[in-house]
A and B are shown apart, each in its own frame.
Chain A
Amino acid sequence: MTEASQEKPDAAEEDLRLIERVLGGDRQAFEALVRSHERRVFRVTLAVLGQVEDAEDAMQETFIKAYRHLKQFRRESRFTTWLTRIAVNEALQRRQSRKDHLPLDESSPAQHRDFPQRFEPWAADPENLYTKQELRELVEKAIRSLSAIYRETLILCDIEGMSAKEAAEVLGVNIAALKSRLLRARLMMRDALSASFEQPRPFGRRVVDTAAEVKNMMGMVLMRVARR
């Protein structure tokens, strides 16, 4: 969980004010509530379902359920957390009923590569290498390259700011499994983004690396020769 993704406290207070108004019969206030949360709900349903059309349906149902059950919202948790739970449940139900539903096997061969695989340092300020739009596209592409269990874990923990415990609970997995998914998700994301963010390779170090590689290859060659 990264702190920057936490909501500002005044946003949570504004939510509570809006909820009071909705419960008093003010439908406009619900629209304001939806506006401030639609992006988060969409991201969460997309994380679980992977397709915009499915995410859209799940998002609509999430807000309809939230409206109908608003009286049941207890103030001991943040509204954001409560709403995110509804969104995840809605999306998970849809995924389970989908005929083509994605294999959730953690050991599927495509995901079984060992990470990390890239070890070149990133540029000092990689965000300056791209425009905001380019940066977003790079990140979205990398997230889409993850399979569902890693994608949803990364988004809930590292974008929506849920703790590992909260995310484990809403996704219905134990905390050890959640944590191992989160670690893999982060390392895969790092690898996926590395090509775009690594600093240009200084010529000098490349020579050293090459020397090491040559030595390594020479060793392998000699071994092969010795086996003949």
Chain B
Amino acid sequence: MRMLSCEEVLANLSDYFDGECSSEFRAQLEDHISKCRRCRVVFDSTGTMLKILVDVEPFEVPLAVSARLYSRLQEVLSEE
């Protein structure tokens, strides 16, 4: 199996996480990661970051913003 360069691993990181790599390329990438500490760190923490992003559901609607939305909609909808 050809050893990928760190640049190739990095360039294809997104496609790997999005499931868009061929199984052959996936295997090459995983092989590189098992042998290269820096790429492994970037790979693992990027995966963790993606999970955290979904878990925390950032940016709540501020209460006042939400209240103004409903009163505006009430106004507009009652005119239609």
Q: Which residues of A contact B (CB under 8 A)?
A: 1-2, 4-5, 27, 30-31, 34, 38-39, 42-43, 46, 52, 56, 59-60, 63-64, 67-68, 116, 119-122, 126-127, 132, 135-136, 139-140, 143, 154, 158-159, 164, 179, 182-183, 186-187, 189-190, 193-194, 197
Contact = CB atoms under 8 A, between A and B. Distances in A.
A154 B14 CA distance: 11
A63 B69 contact: yes
B65 A186 contact: no
A146 B52 CA distance: 17
Majority secondary structure, B binding face: helix
A78 B11 CA distance: 31
Given A52-B65, A186-B46, A135 B52 contact: yes
B41 interface: yes
6 contacts: A38-B66, A67-B73, A121-B45, A122-B44, A159-B57, A179-B15
A56 B49 contact: no
B49 A193 contact: yes
Interface of B: 10-11, 13-15, 17-18, 37-38, 40-42, 44-46, 48-62, 65-66, 68-70, 72-73, 76-78, 80
Nearest to B42: A116
A121 B44 contact: yes
Contact of A132 (B10, B56, B77): B56
Given A52-B62, A190-B45, A27 B13 contact: no
Given A56-B68, A60-B69, 9 more contacts: A27-B77, A27-B78, A38-B66, A121-B40, A122-B41, A122-B45, A159-B54, A159-B57, A190-B49
